[in-house]
Amino acid sequence: MPERTKLTEKVIRDAEPVTGRDYQIFDTEVRGFAACIYRGGGRAFTLDYRYAGRQRRMTFGRWPEWSVSAARERAKELRREIDAGGDPLAQRETKREAPRVTDLIERYCAEHLPKLSARSAADQKSALTKMVAAVWGRKLVTEITQTDVDKLLTLIAEGRARPHKEKPNNRARKLQGAKPTPVRANRIGEVLRKMFTLAVQWGWCEDNPAQRFHRRTETPRERFLSKEEIASLAAALDVAEDRRAADIIRMRMLTGARLGEVRQSRFDQFNLEQLSWSKPPAMTKQRRVHRVPISDETAAIVRQRLLLVPKGAPWLFTGDTPGQPVQEVRRFWAKIQQETGLADVHIHDLRHTFASLLVSGGASLEMIGKLLGHSQTQTTQRYAHLMDSPLRAGVDAVASAFRPKPRLVHDADDQGGRKTA
């Protein structure tokens, strides 16, 4: 039986390491509680106990980070747990092997993201890596609470400082203040809700902490080009040197398609006799075939591209990398913005403008949703207010029915008894 002594700070400090082996100094107050003196000079607190007939030893704190009194109190807690039938060492080993948030993100990216479009998958993976794993990475999946979700989304909604270039000189940079990003917080909240829903299905946690995350108010961007702005844009595109980029912008305006759909469009998707464009599932946001009619002007662009691209090339807008479509037109659009004075117009605003022109042409919300490829009706509802003009005409028609009619009255000064209105 090992010799026991009351552990104190002095006892542990004065204990000399033994060459070639470690040894323990057992406490007299708590059964199994000891200080282990390592051959290298380190010291730690341990608790020896038996569970199911097996001898167990648990190391739970290093000296001097843990004081003797704190370690003794912890040893008492563990001893009470053991006397109640628990095995604290097994519980710690189970916890150590339990999946962490980084494991959940890795499995989510491997099993769920391939079902999404390449763009959506890339966005979600980037957000999870940079914003979620950076904060929660080493936490256990079971440790994440609704409070943790709210704190993280609040942090994301506050935004972050971004480098801003005042002049076209890379060395002339300064930090802008943080820009609030409530929409980004909402999107990441939706990703977390889906990810933890899968975690519940996989048996990694019992409930979903992101099920009822606080959704920030979103103010949809509403910027529609006027007739004058459309004419200015068309004129700038007509004289642009980069015909490929100009045709991409023009085609976006004529079809209301997303930029990625136009960039990746292929000749075999167009039926120029029936004037239709069939977008494959891999290219659309709703992940299904989207067939839309096209105008004669759009068909003319397709025919023109046939003459301009290398023979046999599948893409309307072949990129500079062999075998790939064009990747980006941001520099071209920035130049067009300067030439036309449309500095506040984003490329995606062309899609909104397309919808507004449909409304002014008498198209219903259902028609607009089908042309734009919306999978949810509430997405199309953002254009409902543009239909105020025909609604106002109806209201005015009702008001006219109640408008008082002019009535004839006698003019007191008219001796002839004539009636005046």
Domain 227-390 has CATH 3.10.180.10: no
- Digit-by-digit pLDDT tens for the chain (421 residues) are 567 899 999 999 999 999 999 999 999 999 999 999 999 899 999 999 998 888 989 999 999 999 999 999 999 999 999 988 888 887 777 666 678 999 999 999 999 998 887 778 899 999 999 999 999 988 999 999 999 999 999 999 988 655 544 444 444 344 555 678 888 999 999 999 999 999 999 989 899 999 999 998 877 677 878 889 889 999 999 999 999 999 999 998 898 888 888 999 999 999 999 999 998 887 777 777 888 899 999 999 999 999 988 888 899 999 888 888 988 898 999 999 999 998 888 888 888 888 878 877 777 777 777 888 776 666 666 666 555 555 555 566 666 666 666 666 565 555 555 554 4
Q: Where are the domains of the chain?
A: 9-96, 101-201, 227-390
Q: Which pairs with CB-CB distance under 8 Å and at least 24 residues apart come from 134-137? A: 136/101, 137/100, 137/101, 137/102
pTM exceeds 0.75 for this model: no
With beta carbons less than 8 A apart as the criterion, state whether 373 and 286 touch.
yes
Separation of alpha carbons 367 and 350, rounded Å: 18
Helix (H, G, I), strand (E, B) or coil at 400: helix
Domain 9-96 has CATH 3.30.160.390: yes
DSSP 280-338: -GGGSTTSS-EEEE--HHHHHHHHHHHHHSPTT--BSSB-SSTTSB----HHHHHHHHH
Helix (H, G, I), strand (E, B) or coil at 46: strand
Give me the residues paired with residue 420 across strands: 409
With beta carbons less than 8 A apart as the criterion, state whether 371 and 358 touch.
yes
Amino acid identity of residue 6, one-letter, is K
